[in-house]
Amino acid sequence: MSANSIESTDQWSWWLSVLFRFFCIYLLLYMSPWNWLGGVPLFSLIAEYYGLGESWLVNLGNTYIFHVRDVLVPLNGSGDTSYGYAQLCFFLLTATVGAVIWSVFDKRSNYDVAYYWLLVIVRYYVAMVSLSYGIIKLFGLQMIFPSLSALATPLGDLLPMRFSWYFIGYSTPYQFFSGAVEVLAGVLLLFRRTSTLGALVAAGVFLNVMVLNLCYDIPVKLFSIHMFLFSNFLLLGDAKRLLDFFLFNKATKPATRLTLPKQWMRTGQLVLKIAFAILFLLLPLYRSFDGARAATNPSTSPKLTTGFFTVDQFQSNVADSLRWKDVVFEQTNSGSIQTSDTLFRQRYRRGYFSYSIDSLKQTLDFKRFANDSIPLFTMHYVMPDTNNIVLRGKIRNDSVVVALKRQKRHFQLTERQFHWLSESNR
């Protein structure tokens, strides 16, 4: 076999051909390469109608075959919802039926060329995912340092995912390191000469991500498992060479490479590689850098204050469970209250809110989300000094008076401690 060709006269065994047909269909369904350019107008239209068709088929299959849940919950950024499992069942069923039909009508002796191009598509998919997740970690945008509200939340109230998020977000250097390794894997996968090394790095990266997701109940388990398997799939073609090198101490032959026969094909290949690098490496780098710069710049929106306040007085006719125990004002126009009042966004026994301030009228508009046009309620505020705030207004048509007193809470975690000599660092 020529080093510049992947054509082969070797005949594949029947079971190997069937496996290839199954995985070819399954991988293409899962990766959806026709969705990669969803931001481009024409491709976004194709992706939209493809998504609608897939959703209809998944729901149809769930209704009559899979029965994962009576009503499927959409993915919503997570691959572990009921829709995600129904989608997985749909992909497996489609790949099985498709492989059977393909095997009946296709009797070719091998799939060397098709296997090569499938590896190329998987390689770029793994590179795309590695770069997208790695770049945002480089700038500390995926996991953030615990906010004041998070620091005021008892450790035992945190769910494992949130606990792991704060564990990584606490250390900017560690998050940068993990992102740099993901970016390294993505960059290595862009080039054929370094693709095997890139697949090895990616397999290690996604093994760690997969174990974290499984052990901390992070709802991206299915996706991370797939990424780990895809990284290993890229190594299948080099399995013998890797075993010879690492285990059997044998000389290895060069990997077979496909050189396109026409100059215009090679030029087109180079143009596509450059376009891929711009779309999934350079532009995300710029956007993340811009996002990190905006996050570090102080907001120009007027704020009331920042800090942790206990509730010295709460005058209202509401039930005890709805009374405020303490209030946190963050560095942004947001905060949280220790209350079970579902008027706010509830998380870990705290009610989260955003607010806008009118310093002339001395009013605060409390909102569930920053972009809400209609506030939940409006409170008049008085600040006798920087350590005391008095709020007056109506909540659910009940008159409320809240007196807040600043507490100089000291959270050792915010000191980002590091000791080479650790004799009492516990």
Please report, for the chain, the start and end positions of each structural domain, with discontinuous segments joined by +.
14-294, 307-409
The pTM score is 0.90
Q: Model confidence over 255-279: pLDDT tens digits?
A: 777 777 778 888 888 898 898 899 8
Cα(335)–Cα(340) distance, rounded to whole angstroms?
15
Count CB atoms within 10 A of the CB of residue 64: 8
Ramachandran bin of 140, using left for φ above 0, alpha for ψ from -120 to 50, beta for the remaining angles? left
- The correct answer on CATH 2.60.40 for the domain covering 307-409 is no
**Long-range contacts of range 219-224, CB-CB < 8 Å, 24 or more positions apart?**
219/78, 219/79, 219/80, 219/81, 219/161, 220/78, 220/79, 220/80, 221/79, 221/80, 222/79, 222/80, 222/84, 222/85, 222/88, 223/79
Look at 251 and 94; give whichever has higher pLDDT: 94
Q: Model confidence over 15-27: pLDDT tens digits?
A: 999 999 999 999 9
Confidence check: pLDDT of 13 > 80? yes
Confidence check: pLDDT of 9 > 70? no
Tokens for 194, please give them. 């370094």
User: What residue type is 278 in one-letter code?
Assistant: I
DSSP state of 37: T
Report H helices in 348-425: none
Given a contact cutoff of 8 angstroms between Cβ atoms, the answer to whether 258 and 116 are in contact is: yes
Q: Model confidence over 190-213: pLDDT tens digits?
A: 999 999 999 999 999 999 999 999
Given a contact cutoff of 8 angstroms between Cβ atoms, the answer to whether 389 and 382 are in contact is: yes
* 3-state SS class at 306: coil
pLDDT at 426: 66
Q: Model confidence over 32-65: pLDDT tens digits?
A: 887 777 666 777 788 888 889 999 999 999 999 9
pLDDT at 414: 84
Confidence check: pLDDT of 2 > 50? no
pLDDT at 1: 37
Given a contact cutoff of 8 angstroms between Cβ atoms, the answer to whether 22 and 102 are in contact is: no
What is the secondary structure of 101-145 as a DSSP string?
HHHHH---S--HHHHHHHHHHHHHHHHHHHHHHHHHHHTT-SS--
pLDDT at 218: 94
pLDDT at 120: 92
Query: Among 130-144, 233-247, 288-302, 354-368, whose mean pLDDT is lowest?
Result: 288-302
Look at 149 and 419; give whichever has higher pLDDT: 149
